[in-house]
A = this chain, B = another copy of it.
């Protein structure tokens, strides 16, 4: 029951889209889910095959160019629900940014400031992207179904707050280092 997050992400996308091919799902991973989870097609295709073997999805049809269209089954929906409701989010807490933050005090003041300023710049850039996504979502011309529109909004909000927080943290850290020297 551990490390099945890819499975869950795929089930979630299939629920949202109704049905989709591996190719579609891979595209979704590049776009909508990207800030939250990553996976390449070489991971997605075998996982979909395993999920089909486990009865969580079915191949409804085969379209042009060998396109396989997957749909979530009742069993799949149950699995997703169970995970969402019952999964304790004890994340592995493995962040390169945090590791770098941890080690920064090993550097001298000017170097530390340089690293923190790179963090700052990076965060600022990411913030622009996420806020663009946000306004795009909230000024969508004609919403096609409520679930589709709302889907991913909470996570986007979380991402924006996260990025703002890192920005502020870097600013404060820079200020404090400068005050000490």
Contacts and interface: CB of A to CB of B under 8 A. Distances in A.
Given A87-B96, A105-B151, A154-B173, 15 more contacts: A9-B99, A33-B102, A35-B98, A37-B99, A38-B93, A80-B106, A89-B100, A89-B118, A89-B122, A91-B97, A99-B155, A102-B155, A104-B154, A105-B154, A161-B169
Given A98-B35, A173-B154, A147 B84 contact: no
Nearest to A8: B99
A15 interface: yes
B84 A107 contact: yes
A144 interface: no
5 interchain residue pairs of minimum CB distance: A102-B155, A36-B98, A101-B155, A12-B103, A89-B97
A124 interface: no
Interface string A100-122: 11111111000100110011001
Contacts of A5: 94, 96, 99
Q: Could you say how many copies of this chain the assembly holds?
A: 2
Contact of A165 (B9, B85, B87, B162): B162
A78 interface: no
A96 B105 contact: no
Nearest to A87: B100
12 contacts: A5-B94, A9-B99, A15-B106, A33-B102, A36-B93, A36-B95, A38-B93, A80-B106, A81-B107, A88-B118, A105-B150, A162-B165
Contacts of A87: 96, 100
